[in-house]
Structure 1
Amino acid sequence: MSNKIIFQFDDNLEYQKKAVDSVVELFRGLPKLLDSIYAERIRKTRLMEKDPVRNIDIVKGNKLFQNLKKVQLKNGLFTDEKAYSKHERDFTVEMETGTGKTYVYLRTILELHKEYGFKKFMIVVPSVAIRKGVEKSIEQLREHFKRLYNVDLSKYSFIYDSNNLGKVNAFVEENNLSICVMNIQAFNKYTNKIRKDDKNLWRDIKFVRPIVLIDEPQKIEGTKKKKSQSLKAIEELDPLFTLRYSATHKNLYNQVYKLDSYEAYKKNLVKKIRVKTINSVISKDFPYIRYTYFTKDCKARIEMFSQVQGESIRFKNFNVENGVSLYELSGGLPQYKDMFIAEQPHKEKSLKIAINYGDFELALGESNKKLENKDIIRIQIRLAIENHFQKQFEILEEGKKIKSLTLFFIDEVKKVRDSEASDGRGDYLEIFDEEYLKIVQKYKEKIEKYKNYFPHYEDVNLVREGYFALDKKKNEVEVEYKNEDEPKAKSQEDIDRGIELILEKKDELISFNEPLAFIFSHSALREGWDNPNVFTLCTLKNGSSEIAKKQEIGRGLRLPVDVTGNRCLDRNVNELTVIANDSYDNFSRMLQEDFNKNINKNEVTSDLLLITLEKSGIPKIKITSELVDEFKKELIEKK
């Protein structure tokens, strides 16, 4: 087995081809405005300078709009004529995290070049971390795209560097495919080098009418009231058109393709999620109660033990009100004898529970099982290690050569690396080492069975490592924040250096020749951890926003890769376990709400209307986007 796994890519995945085709078909049959002796030219302003080479223009208007409607109808999306009139050169592709968004837009570039001769492309990203991810993808996909298009993507693309504007000159002047990858901070201010030091160059870039692809546009758009400087800078480029790619768009201008989290899961394109919490270690003879939620119908939702006759004791959720007997809800478990809800729940008050010697109160989110923070951390780490071994050996027993990784997100370097400790270990590393050495003994027989895969599993120093923000001298440093989720500019540079180190290690980590399998990382570096073989994710921190939690979980959603670099499509294997410090109900509800937030189950969608029209007997050939739109208008008017 090689130390470095070469990822294999499938060029025939239907959903990815559909995403690519949805953009390519927008321009089918559009008349072209070719540069000629009559076209606008830019006078040479520098010695030995070549003429700028611009993209072939396309005529906007009715034909483009008709193509958009056809693509949207095919993909079950509605056309918004009003939005189109304001954003007729902006097109949106929505793809769930982990489904190959970067692959899709790189392949789209190559298809647009092949089909229409478009040459100049700019990939604009919101951060250095994402830019490095794009750079890594170009490297990994080099041979794959060379086979498909006879184009070496690495030769026709470059990463913008303000100290090497010669590459930008070449981008402007080359009469061939040319792709510039830039983070938005490089040109969103008038003081940027590319705009300030060489105004002619900035003018030339605008002249070539690049096609701009924005990765994660929601991070650079600003608000509805105030357009960001970044968006203004992109508009100033006067791109031929703009393609916007994300899983979490703020604005869906002229959406041409949609693959949301629900569709991705349904099509087995991402791992399913299972949540384990610290509650799973509570003794089943303890009268455990947790107040998890105040419902819309003014009841309190509680989590407690319950037993149905003939089955085992397990956690169950109940909506309760004044006078409800917990003993009855539990199925007669003795520890709940004489316990009941003492007063009607109120969203502004704690929940009062009566017992035979008085009563006690629980605040929302609180339980009657008090644990010290260090105990909670120990339980989480223990559960993560146990789950790691269980998952790894389940995979091997299935006959699959896939290495499992476990990722711990933390919020302070000191909890892993402590310069004041005699051995340099922080609290979390000490706990990990103690728990690991106990648990590994239980799996000695399995390790022996697969000894070729685990030659170093008894050496705890080799199986775990920490990845953190790095200063210029490569020292690990803490991350400083402006607010809950936004690091300060200086810390962002440190984060980017840490992510670069992670990306360098990405291909090696999934090889069994690399003993490292347990990774501690600051949550600020989460964008670097798009590793497909993360099967266990443990959050040893509090205080993240729901968006940040979703982004952390997203790190483990990609489908795993075996030692030959091929993706695994087995639903039995493709499961991410999240070890959470929230209660199961709270945490899973947060995930479910996020999962469904853009899914209106009562919404009339384009594909539903298509099915209705087909069932009514209208021939498929006569069902046009105009007919579907008219049908929708009638339904809305009759509401």
Structure 2
Amino acid sequence: MKIKLEILPHQTEALKAIDENFYGLDTLKNNPDADYIYANPLVKYRYQEKANIDIKMETGTGKTYVYTRMMYELHQKYGLFKFVIAVPNPSIKEGTRSFITSAYAKQHFSEFYENTRIQLNVINAGDFNGQSGRRNFPAQLSEFVESTRQNVNQIEVLLINAGMLHSKSMHRDDYDQTLLGGETSPIKAIAATRPIVIIDEPHRFSRGKRFYGDIKEMDPQLIVRFGATFPEITPGHGHNKVKKIDYYRGKPQFNLNAVDSFNQGLVKGIDIGYPDMPEDQANNLYRVKKLKPKELTLTKDNKDYSVTVGESLADIDEGFAGNITYDGGLDHELSNGLSLSKDMKLIPGTFSESYQDEIISEALDRHFVAEQENFMRSNTSINVPRIKTLSLFFIDSISSFRGDNKTKGWLAKNFEKILTQKLRKLIKKYEFTINDREKQYYEFLQATLQSLKSEHQDVYAGYFSEDRGNSDDDIQAEVDDILKNKEKLLSFKDSKGKWITRRFLFSKWTLREGWDNPNVFVIAKLRTSGSEISKIQEVGRGLRLPVDETGHRLSQEEWPSRLSFLIGYDEQNFAEKLVGEINTDSPVKLDQDELTEDMIKLIVKAKEKSNPQFNENQLLDDLDEHNVITRSNQFKQYVDIDGKKMSGYDALCYLYPELEQQTKVSKGKIRDKNSKDNTKVKLRKQNWQQLKNLWLQLAKRQMIQFDPSVNQNAETVARHVFNDSDNKIFVLQRPQIISQKINTDNNIASVRETQSDYNTEYLAMNYGKFLKILANKTDLSVNLINNLMIKAITRLGSNTNYINEKTLDNLVRTLNSRFNARIKTSYSYEPLDFAASTSIYNAKKQEFVNSVPASLLGIYQADSTSDKAYLYDRPPLRYDSADPELTILKRSYSPKISVFGKLPKQAIKIPRFDNGTTTPDFIFKIERDNKPIYLVIETKAENMRLGDEDIRVIQQKYFNHLKESGVYYRMATSAQEVHDLINKLESGELN
């Protein structure tokens, strides 16, 4: 499997912000350093803070992609070619290295920046260790420093972690060689290149602290920081201390905050759960009263209990199981690695093995629920690609997992026992299945159980900071697979067709490792995190949207994905804290006493998307007319609107729900699974029964029947693509080699390492395999492809080296893209003889369900409607856009409308010609002349997005076959348009 990178709109906006905030090059003439060939060109306002740029992007939204592409952009536009990427730790460094050097990233960026490549130089611990007692510079450092501008197609990048950057090796100046003909200190040699420095995770590089000091020693012309969290500064003294975020230029130059990330579906939603506890056990609670390097004092019921270093907490309470001792030190740690802080609460029962087993069992249950959904994907089309499901367990003790002397620890043994029980139960469920996809899953489960029982199981693995340098080959193989072989971990089978069963991963704590994977669907914390750290960062390892087995990243519209986050009882308010942290991240602070300038700008900007003429004056006039604000923009105490009495601030939110939509995370994005609120919306069955006859037809599965002309279209497209006159599709592919060259400049020897193509040898594929894969991925006949390939290769001088993986990828992508553009209207729907269940209808029982998840109806909520014709019982109203959706729901309709409401996602499942399904937004039942008419509406904003017209055509085609049943379909961009349609249908003006 190969991951396919796709640039997303928010990433494009981030790159645009960087471009707009980069001041360009300094054009001053007669500057003696201007032509220094080892260094970057001179940047305007270099070495000044006003040149620096901050890019705030939430965890999981593609920061690494953006800063990698930024380097290509700055190189292409300005000739900047020396960049330093500073990351907090070796694990994040490995993730960055893996991305930049991956084949899929190189292929992606080559499409935009032809012939340009990144030479990544990574500095690791041990690279400075010389032989025969000599102190030499690492080859990677020499390559970075001494490369010149003369290689115009190469970008030099130095990747280094904070600890390595701060090391003595980087700062000493007594090496037995020099760089740039004179520098003997690595940090000074880097400074001589006038680098552009990229800081990843800026909160770990606070200004005034030691690591930021190392950044400054590199003397960067420009610093660009990328992170979800930025350092805090605390100006003032005593009680007047007010925390502020430390941004360059006072604010981030691009801000994709947590609220936007969740509300726009750029990350997974989150379900939070924890094991409940008996009240008496939950109340058996100790608070950390005092912390000293050699003594810990806990308090309970006004009584103090103390232990010194090495003494067991079980001496205080037997519930502190596992012989946990106080290790003390400056971090005030327990022997299980938990760092204590003053006033922290400890529940002895949460330290027991049985309690951790309970969390493991619940995590595995949630894993297999997600895994079955992701493997089957039955709610979309037949043979849709599967999604590999991963789960991540954070533990406190490595020895509980690794054990001693190559024996498994108690945690690993317990995990295997619980997992084996659940596997056997699932295998029994699928034992006699006849469905092809379910048969595949049965085989996958069987392979998992077989591996689990083998001597060297491959189902679960661990990776820990302490593993670096471990001499155990098996442990090192585990770590490499997790940290370096991301594509393998996302695949179901290896090149030999053997199942890859590894999908359960163990690590220590949540913030120390830096690893991430898009297909983590479950995270279980088997102990509390300890101190008050960022809740967003804790869940961040699982927020990325998943990729399927073809490498395609799935949006929330294609496949709604949620992360299950399991925690301990002692963190039961985690969901509340997470929501609070996300809402605090909003750039606009809501003032319930006064309508601020920021609040005005936010509302106007949101309204302009659907009404470009909307402005501040209209907003203020409307609020004045409704008596919401005073002349000084203060909110009035009470306001009557639509017969309801509310505060001025509440009235503003009632009239302009966009305000809180932009500043608060939507309900349903983060759910506390232990909460009594199950976020379900109950159906008014008596109203849905009025749609029963129509739904018997809508429940029938539909097959897409392509026109006979489609085959001819396919051939026409194929002939045009294969006749690639610009040679952009048929390309040559060479293997690369790393060369090390010994230079003896100035009588000093040094090693220079370069990566280049072979001069004579090309990479080529087996022709039969090439044809088979191309036919399979494009649905073109092998004979047609063979004939076109013969002509193409003949045109290219009979050079069979053009038959390679790059050419194959180019052909697949171009053929499918152009073919889809030709067949958008060349098909019809043909009903099949069987019905299928949807989110709203049980086909087997031929009845509507009792309730649906609120998230299927919309991410926002508002006061419920009292209209008896509404399809749902339970308030509040759910919707995705204030205009036109909420306006449609809140309108009053005539008695002729017997039923109306919003349709949940996947309520009808109209198949798309390009795979997947779609469902319209609204349905109205109109009584006219004793014969019902059904108005089906798809709502879109006035400024329609790319693809909206395709959706209109798809839905229009689907509902054409229901015209005789009285179904009228329309895409509408406003509530008024819907209202006018209803009036015309009621009056008979439209038939």
Indicate the SS of the match to 2:507: strand
Equivalent residue, structure 1, for 2:325: none
Aligned partner letter, 1:241: L
The one-character-per-residue Cα deviations of 1:449-500 (angstroms, maximum 9, x if unpaired) are 22354441223233222333225342499xxxxxxxxxxxxxxxx9x99865
> What CA distance in whole angstroms lies between the structure 2 residues aligned with 1:166 and 1:371?
52
> What CA distance in whole angstroms lies between the structure 1 residues aligned with 2:349 and 2:94?
44
Equivalent residue, structure 2, for 1:457: 448
> What CA distance in whole angstroms lies between the structure 2 residues aligned with 1:621 and 1:637?
19
> What CA distance in whole angstroms lies between the structure 2 residues aligned with 1:503 and 1:134?
10
How many Å apart are 1:388 and its aligned residue?
1.0
1:157 aligns with 2:120: yes
- Asked whether the 8 Å contact 1:133–1:503 carries over to 2, the reply is yes
Alignment of 1:235-634 (within 5 A): 235-250=216-231, 251-254=246-249, 255-279=252-276, 373-399=352-378, 400-419=385-404, 424-445=407-428, 447-448=430-431, 449=438, 450-459=441-450, 460=452, 461-468=457-464, 469-470=466-467, 472-475=469-472, 502-513=482-493, 514-523=500-509, 527-547=513-533, 550-570=536-556, 573-582=560-569, 585-599=572-586, 601-602=589-590, 604=596, 606=598, 608-609=600-601
Indicate the SS of the match to 2:573: helix
How many Å apart are 1:173 and its aligned residue?
5.8
For structure 2, list consecutive stretches of 5 or more residues without a partner in the other structure: 128-136, 232-245, 286-298, 303-342, 379-384, 432-437, 494-499, 617-630, 636-991
Q: Which has the higher contact order (CA 8 A, sep 6+)?
A: 1
Indicate the SS of the match to 1:462: coil
**Aligned residue pair count:** 493
Aligned partner letter, 1:7: I
Change in Cα spacing, 1:215 to 1:497, as seen in structure 2 (3 Å) is farther
1:22 aligns with 2:3: no
Indicate the SS of the match to 1:192: helix
Change in Cα spacing, 1:524 to 1:9, as seen in structure 2 (3 Å) is same
- Asked whether the 8 Å contact 2:44–2:51 carries over to 1, the reply is no
Aligned partner letter, 1:238: D
Equivalent residue, structure 1, for 2:200: 215
Equivalent residue, structure 2, for 1:143: 107
Equivalent residue, structure 2, for 1:125: 87
How many Å apart are 1:212 and its aligned residue?
1.3
- Structure with higher Rg: it is 2
Change in Cα spacing, 1:471 to 1:211, as seen in structure 2 (3 Å) is closer
Indicate the SS of the match to 1:530: coil
Equivalent residue, structure 2, for 1:170: 146
1:95 aligns with 2:57: yes
Give the structure-2-normalised TM-score. Answer: 0.45
- Asked whether the 8 Å contact 2:268–2:556 carries over to 1, the reply is no
Indicate the SS of the match to 1:394: helix
Indicate the SS of the match to 1:88: helix
Change in Cα spacing, 1:620 to 1:582, as seen in structure 2 (3 Å) is same
> What CA distance in whole angstroms lies between the structure 2 residues aligned with 1:381 and 1:218?
32
How many Å apart are 1:51 and its aligned residue?
5.3
Change in Cα spacing, 1:377 to 1:585, as seen in structure 2 (3 Å) is closer
Change in Cα spacing, 1:447 to 1:565, as seen in structure 2 (3 Å) is farther
Indicate the SS of the match to 2:273: strand
> What CA distance in whole angstroms lies between the structure 2 residues aligned with 1:240 and 1:142?
27
> What CA distance in whole angstroms lies between the structure 2 residues aligned with 1:163 and 1:128?
17
How many Å apart are 1:527 and its aligned residue?
2.9
Give the structure-1-normalised TM-score. Answer: 0.67
Indicate the SS of the match to 2:391: strand
Aligned partner letter, 2:204: K
How many Å apart are 1:581 and its aligned residue?
1.2
Aligned partner letter, 1:148: F
Equivalent residue, structure 2, for 1:307: none
How many Å apart are 1:244 and its aligned residue?
0.7
- Asked whether the 8 Å contact 1:216–1:246 carries over to 2, the reply is yes
* Structure 1 range deviating more: 605-614 or 13-22: 605-614
Change in Cα spacing, 1:434 to 1:120, as seen in structure 2 (3 Å) is closer
> What CA distance in whole angstroms lies between the structure 2 residues aligned with 1:614 and 1:377?
46
> What CA distance in whole angstroms lies between the structure 1 residues aligned with 2:473 and 2:527?
19
Equivalent residue, structure 2, for 1:232: 213
Equivalent residue, structure 1, for 2:842: none
Equivalent residue, structure 1, for 2:37: 52
How many Å apart are 1:570 and its aligned residue?
3.3
How many Å apart are 1:95 and its aligned residue?
0.6
Indicate the SS of the match to 2:2: coil
> What CA distance in whole angstroms lies between the structure 1 residues aligned with 2:359 and 2:634?
54
- Asked whether the 8 Å contact 2:274–2:572 carries over to 1, the reply is no
> What CA distance in whole angstroms lies between the structure 2 residues aligned with 1:576 and 1:497?
27
Indicate the SS of the match to 1:149: coil
The one-character-per-residue Cα deviations of 1:110-134 (angstroms, maximum 9, x if unpaired) are 1122222322222222222222111
- Asked whether the 8 Å contact 2:509–2:529 carries over to 1, the reply is no
How many Å apart are 1:192 and its aligned residue?
2.3
> What CA distance in whole angstroms lies between the structure 2 residues aligned with 1:185 and 1:636?
54
Change in Cα spacing, 1:445 to 1:608, as seen in structure 2 (3 Å) is farther
- Asked whether the 8 Å contact 1:31–1:59 carries over to 2, the reply is yes
Change in Cα spacing, 1:113 to 1:453, as seen in structure 2 (3 Å) is same
The one-character-per-residue Cα deviations of 1:65-88 (angstroms, maximum 9, x if unpaired) are xxxxxxxxxxxxxxxxxxxx9721
Indicate the SS of the match to 1:92: strand
- Asked whether the 8 Å contact 2:511–2:538 carries over to 1, the reply is no
Change in Cα spacing, 1:524 to 1:558, as seen in structure 2 (3 Å) is closer
Runs of 4+ in 1 over 6 A off after TM superposition: 286-289, 347-350, 363-367, 369-372, 613-616, 619-623, 635-639
Indicate the SS of the match to 1:15: helix
The one-character-per-residue Cα deviations of 1:513-560 (angstroms, maximum 9, x if unpaired) are 211122222237853430111111111123533327643421111111
Indicate the SS of the match to 2:552: coil
Aligned partner letter, 1:153: R
> What CA distance in whole angstroms lies between the structure 1 residues aligned with 2:607 and 2:535?
43
How many Å apart are 1:574 and its aligned residue?
1.0
How many Å apart are 1:405 and its aligned residue?
0.9
Change in Cα spacing, 1:263 to 1:40, as seen in structure 2 (3 Å) is same
Change in Cα spacing, 1:620 to 1:166, as seen in structure 2 (3 Å) is farther
Change in Cα spacing, 1:406 to 1:257, as seen in structure 2 (3 Å) is same
> What CA distance in whole angstroms lies between the structure 2 residues aligned with 1:56 and 1:390?
55
Equivalent residue, structure 2, for 1:109: 71
Alignment equivalent of 2:170, drawn from 172, 192, 215: 192
> What CA distance in whole angstroms lies between the structure 2 residues aligned with 1:613 and 1:511?
43
Equivalent residue, structure 2, for 1:78: none
> What CA distance in whole angstroms lies between the structure 1 residues aligned with 2:194 and 2:12?
26
> What CA distance in whole angstroms lies between the structure 1 residues aligned with 2:284 and 2:598?
38
> What CA distance in whole angstroms lies between the structure 1 residues aligned with 2:247 and 2:301?
41
How many Å apart are 1:395 and its aligned residue?
2.0
> What CA distance in whole angstroms lies between the structure 2 residues aligned with 1:615 and 1:542?
43
Aligned partner letter, 2:492: F
